[in-house]
Structure 1
């Protein structure tokens, strides 16, 4: 692994629809990456013309599970939880279609880069399926209630650039430049303190669920803890010595 770990979905013919096997492989890759101190950022992307078309509905329709065995929804919950709450930045490099569970996967990432031709939407209503990983619960927080309802009710896809205008996508780039643009960005953040990025991600995520006073209090508690870290001491020392800091992540 390098400082950026790329996880690429290879169910090309199925538009990278999520199967239980794909989710198990994603979980294994995420857990290995989280455990590797040399990896500073994680990127998810698809092969072919889709990022991810959602859950594999053929598998959902015919699913049979032994009692106690995790089903596809259990695996989605666990895998997306690793992305949302894991200690490292997770970036979606949306190369094509991101629909239903694919859009929910995008929302579980910290940042979103998209190819100019990419399209996104919540397609659950097209098949009478209810979302279970953020379509109804998280999408309104990302793009506003009225816009979220439009996507949920209509099942339409919209362009990556419109999704950027709505606040879900951070940056749209020409299709041929997507990988290079994401790699250049992750190369930059790989030089940052892993400890400070981890704390920033945690506090920023939690700030959405508490009032302003509680969010500021948690930020101050994290700052006081961070002031005892190697990375902050190293950063200040490097500043005074006019050199590049060598962060260790603790």
Structure 2
């Protein structure tokens, strides 16, 4: 397994876990961290030993956003270009990843850290989570498009026009996080969900993620046709037939 400098990664029982490893900088985003994140996601994309991926910063800090030490060099045009390319790669990889991703958010998830959570498929938040886009206060812009698809236009406008931060309860209320975990248990809860996904097998996880990637952009009839054809395609797979027969046999024995 590749050794990274800014993340830790493990793969066990179908679950890949990426943990940001810059606690001295509150897991702030650097080009190197985003590159490590992208590289590890790429490495697992076609690895059948990984069905779902958990992304976390641990229990106390998810990600404080852009590293201010790095931002101080933005007067350099080349530095801005390199950072933009790293952002586009990392966020684009998450947005169109072929396997389910879960953000386990403990503590602050701000600016680019909130973006990473938003670009994941599912967000589990700890009771100590704080989310928001404080860069708005400096005149900077957020990634609005993925946010409003999760929380709706009005709530997305509230967050991105003001730059105000919200706590875990408010994030749960508006749908920015999907489930709430006790403080200190967010990684465990996210891992349990990822394990449940992994039980369906990596192949099924990829098939279902593909549907989730494509169907929302279709009109209702096109989506119905696409999803029916997807079902028709998998129902004949020998491994799926075997799994159905096994489940049916267990029912008959009861």
Instruction: Give TM-score, length-normalised by structure 1.
Output: 0.87
The within-5 A match list for 1:86-97 is: 86-97=97-108
2:71 & 2:228 partners in 1: Cα distance? 45
Specify the alignment match of 2:178 in structure 1: 170
Match of 1:98 in 2: 109
User: What do residues 176-222 of structure 1 show as CA deviations (whole Å, max 9, x unaligned)?
Assistant: 22222222222222211322222222222323222111211221221
CA distance in 1, matches of 2:52, 2:109: 21
Unpaired runs of 5+ in structure 2?
A: 1-10
**Contact between 1:11 and 1:47, CA under 8 Å: does it hold in 2?**
no
Q: How do residues 57-68 of structure 1 correspond to structure 2 at under 5 angstroms? A: 57-63=68-74, 64=76
Given that 1:42 and 1:89 are in contact with CA atoms closer than 8 Å, whether structure 2 keeps it comes out as: yes
1:235 match: 243
Give runs of ≥4 in structure 1 deviating > 3 Å: 63-67
1:85 paired to 2:96? yes
Q: Aligned-residue CA RMSD in angstroms?
A: 2.2
Distance 1:40 1:18 in 2: 26
Gaps of 5+ in 1: 244-250
Query: For the residues of structure 2 that align with 1:41 and 1:83, how far apart are their CA atoms?
Result: 12
What does residue 205 of structure 2 align with? 197
- In structure 2, the CA distance between the partners of 1:205 and 1:168, relative to structure 1 (3 Å rule), is farther
Give the Cα separation in 1 of the matches to 2:81 and 2:244: 47
Structure with greater contact order relative to length (CA < 8 Å, sep ≥ 6): 2
Distance 2:236 2:93 in 1: 27
Normalization by structure 2: what TM-score? 0.85
SS at match of 1:130: coil
Question: Is 1:38 aligned with 2:46?
Answer: no
Q: Distance in 1 between the 2:242 and 2:77 partners? A: 52
Deviation at 1:48, TM superposition (A): 6.8
Distance apart, 1:169 and its partner CA: 1.1
Task: Give the one of 141, 158, 171 matched to 1:150.
Answer: 158
